[in-house]
Structure 1
Amino acid sequence: MNLNIPVRSFFSFEQSTPSITEIPFLHGTLGGWDKANLLPDLMALDGKDTFADVYLGWNAGGVYLGVDAKGAPGLEVQPKRPLNGDGIQIWLDTRDVRDAHRASRFCHHFYFLPTGGRSDGPVAGQARIRRARAQPKPCEPQSITVASRISKKGFRFSAFLPADILTGFEPEDNNRFGFTYLIRDKRLGRQYWTADEPLPVAYDPSLWGTVVLS
């Protein structure tokens, strides 16, 4: 019986991510990203192709995310139910507790829609994590800076999560955090980093990878 469990879910992953200073990519061009901030392609471990490059960066001010999806997009977003439609989701544990199977107040779940907001602009927000022992303080959506650019050849998206909405984010004292992502597009497919359904990756931090702040 094939349970469709990804091979990579049986391994632990650790990725070094450099700090960044300039942020021109928040204009939607992604021109400011260094290749050193590109997350590795783990889909290949399961014999699957990726359609998006995902970048991650940080500094004392917060965490930066970049997505460069290639191919004609078929984004079907649901702004009123953002977790049900297409878009980008990330999970982040500022304490990187590898043996915890339930989220703590240091675990965060954010969603991003490249379109669907005011004037068809991007949307961002925070979601509660199911079965969590405690939830972080929810943030105001406007505290997240987002930019996107959509064309017939793909879409590009950038976001900045300020440190004050990331409970426990203290890079001077703790240089690692747990992380994973999910990207969905009706036409391009489904891309994820460490694990996917049917595993409980949406609320089990032990299934996330580790990002080392370098």
Structure 2
Amino acid sequence: MQTILYARVSTADQTSTHQRKQAEAAGFKIDHVVIDEGVSGISTTLAERPQGRRLFDMLRAGDVLVVRWVDRLGRNYADVTETIRELIRRGVVVRTVINAMTFDGATTDPVQQAVRDALIGFMAATAQAQAEATKEAQRAGIAHAKAQADATAYRGRKPSYSRDQFKIVRDQLSQGVAVAAIAKATGLTRQVVYRISADPAEAEAALARWAA
């Protein structure tokens, strides 16, 4: 039996190194790490990704697949639910770092199976909803910035956060991570995290105005 961490890294997400540190801090002893770099979880299914295919080949019955959260498997509801169910059918245990969820085929009780499957569906739907909300916030921020695009327009105070920090804050807020934890992880003050949380579209627009 082996424990494999699967890390998907896109331009808006954490690094694979950080994902491994999170998993190990949560008590997982990782035997192997499989990483897909710069791959969208919305448009590309796990089975279509180069390392996703390798992951399916590696996993055997009794193995444990660790992911930071189900959104690492994908951001599409149908894809994520089918992926997790296929892994369960193969005898693989799927565990998440965030929320410490476990999905497996251990139970034969139909009620418990129904609860498990409902939870899989809920988490997959949440991952897709978060992806769509992120895209909408980006569109709103870009539109707001374009409306203020006059070269002589007042740009306001320069943001005290970088684009990478903003993306991490936005991603972790959508997952319900506490403000204090986000501030510690990004090096920002809690006040800055609160400002981004209160108006993510304006926070995105501020970066665009300063070409940050």
TM-score after normalising by structure 1: 0.23
Structure label with greater radius of gyration: 2
Q: Relative to total residues, which structure has the larger strand share, 1 or 2?
A: 1
Higher relative contact order (Cα pairs below 8 Å, separated by 6+ residues): 1
Q: Relative to total residues, which structure has the larger helix share, 1 or 2?
A: 2
TM-score after normalising by structure 2: 0.24
